Amino acid sequence: MDASTFLIQCLNAVQYGLLLFLIASGLTLIFGIMGVINLAHGSFYMLGAYMAYALAPLVANTFGGGFFATLLVGVGLAVLLGYVLEWAFFSFLYHREHLQQVLMTYGLILVFEEVRSLLVGDDVHSVEIPAGLSGSLPLGEMMTYPVYRLFISGACLLLALGMYWVFKYTRLGMMIRAGSTNREMVQSLGIDIQFLNRVVFAAGLAIAVFAGMLAAPVSSVYPGMGDTVLIICFVVVVIGGIGSIRGALMAALLIGVVDTFGKVLLPQAAGVLVYVLMALILLWKPSGLFKAG
């Protein structure tokens, strides 16, 4: 592998790592911060991708909006959906054991899969890259690099910084972190924990949908796509250290490197590398790389 190919592979690794963080970011909220084992995270991501596909024509002929208008509409709907879902199915689960949440979210996966099949059918679709970003830059003498992937990486970095800033430096962030560590204490301080949970859950779902919509032009839209990202998202959150945004970003980049170079250098073992990485990290530091925050 000569120098230029190595550099391109590094770019691929970073780009996949950032994409992974984007997809897993919703989970860092619901699972990482709130402690809800949300198996339906993959379905939220799939919901986003299908929204990008299904909403585009509606938004286009209602008020002529393009990709970004659809994005806004989609995220808005997601916040509403998250609010309702939390109220209906999760508000009474916080005091019950984790496994009840596993059972509830397992049911949600099945329901989301079938509602998608009923509404949109089972065919494979794709979403147009927004006009301004559909170009690509030359990369080495043979390849070109799509501008849209760079845009996604940028959006992901912005999202990471935004989440980190909200949680570290704002009152809302502080309340949320306090709520996740000691629910009763926060309640006794007069903070409406019910509302707080609803906000965080809605935000978690909205970010997962946002990730789905943003990545749709690259990932394409097909049945069962949520299933393929579910496990890797949990790996990202857990390796990073549950509740740590910074940790999730580091973990995503680390997985990006291991997965990318694993495929090229150790193809026969490519399937197991990410899991070997997770096992090693958790056995070396049994609660992830970074502490919460």
Partner 1 sequence: MDKFRRTALALGASLLAAGALMAPMSAAHAQATAPTNAKLKVGLMLPYTGTFASLGNAIENGFRLYVTEQGGKLSGREVEFVKVDDESDPSKATDNVNKLVKRDNVDVLVGTVHSGVAMAMAKVAKETNTLLIVPNAGADAVTGAMCAPNIFRSSFSNWQPGYAMGEVLAKKGVKRVATITWKYAAGDEAVRGFKEAFEKGGGTVVKELNLPFPNVEFQALLTDIAATKPDAVFTFFAGGGAVKFVKDYAAAGLKKSIPLYGSGFLTDGTLDAQGDAAEGLFTTLHYADSLSVPKDKSFRLNYAKTFKLQPDVYAVQGYDAAQILAIGLKATNGDVSKKAEFAAAVEAAKIDSPRGAFTLSKAHNPVQDIYLRQVEAKENKMVGIATKALNDPARGCKM
Partner 2 sequence: MPTPSSKLFVIAAFLLLAVFPTFASAYGLDFVTKIMVYALFALSLELLVGSVGLVCFGQAAFFGLGAYATVWFSPESDAASIAWLLPACVALAAAAALVMGALSLRTSGVYFIMVTLAFAQMAYYVVHDTPLGGGSDGIYLLFKPVFKPWLDLDKPNALYGFTWACLVGVFIVLALLNRSRFGRALAGIRVNAQRMRATGFSTYPYQLAAFTLSGAIAGLAGFLFAVKDGYVNPEMLSWHLSGAVLIMVILGGIGQLRGALIGAFVFALLQEFFKSESIFGNMAKHWHLGLGLTIMLSVMLLPRGLVGVPEQIKNRLKGKAHAAP
3-state secondary structure 186-220: HHHCCCCHHHHHHHHHHHHHHHHHHHHHHHHHHHC
Is 139 among the residues that bind partner 1 (CB under 8 A)? yes
Percentages helix, strand, coil for the chain (3-state, rounded to 5) are 75, 5, 20
Nearer to partner 2, 89 or 151 (CB): 89
CA distance 24 to 275: 17
CA distance 47 to 221: 10
Is 238 among the residues that bind partner 2 (CB under 8 A)? yes
Q: Tell me which of partner 1, partner 2, none is bound by residue 190, counting a contact when its beta carbon lies within the kind-specific cut-off of 5 to 8 angstroms.
A: none
Nearer to partner 1, 91 or 228 (CB): 228
Nearer to partner 2, 64 or 286 (CB): 286
User: Cα–chain-centroid distance for residue 292?
Assistant: 18
Give me 19's structure tokens. 């994409």
CA distance 157 to 165: 12
Give me 213's structure tokens. 């919509």
Could you tell me if 49 and 210 are in contact, meaning their C-beta atoms sit under 8 angstroms apart?
no
Q: Tell me which of partner 1, partner 2, none is bound by residue 283, counting a contact when its beta carbon lies within the kind-specific cut-off of 5 to 8 angstroms.
A: partner 2
Is 164 among the residues that bind partner 2 (CB under 8 A)? no
In angstroms, give the least distance from the CB of 228 to partner 1. 6
Q: Tell me which of partner 1, partner 2, none is bound by residue 34, counting a contact when its beta carbon lies within the kind-specific cut-off of 5 to 8 angstroms.
A: none
Residues 28-67: x where in contact with partner 2 by CB under 8 A, - otherwise, as a string: ---------x-x----------------------------
> How many CA atoms within 13 Å lie on the side-chain side of 153?
16
Nearer to partner 1, 162 or 224 (CB): 224
Nearer to partner 2, 127 or 278 (CB): 278
Interface of this chain with partner 2, residues 242 to 271, rule: CB under 8 A: 242, 268, 271
CB atoms within 10 A of CB 218: 15
Is 220 among the residues that bind partner 1 (CB under 8 A)? yes
CA distance 218 to 232: 18
CA distance 185 to 93: 18
Interface of this chain with partner 2, residues 167 to 226, rule: CB under 8 A: none
Nearer to partner 1, 32 or 146 (CB): 146
Q: Give the list of residues 6+ apart from residue 195 with CB closer than 8 angstroms, or none.
A: none
Nearer to partner 2, 97 or 141 (CB): 97
CA distance 119 to 287: 41
Among 72, 84, 111, 143, binds partner 1 (CB under 8 A): 143
Residues 77-116: x where in contact with partner 2 by CB under 8 A, - otherwise, as a string: ------------x--xx--xxxxx-xxx-xxxxxx-xxx-
Given the rule CB under 8 A, which residues bind partner 1? 1-2, 5, 8-9, 12-13, 15-16, 113-114, 117, 121-126, 128, 136, 138-140, 142-146, 149, 218-225, 228, 259-261, 263-264, 267, 270-271
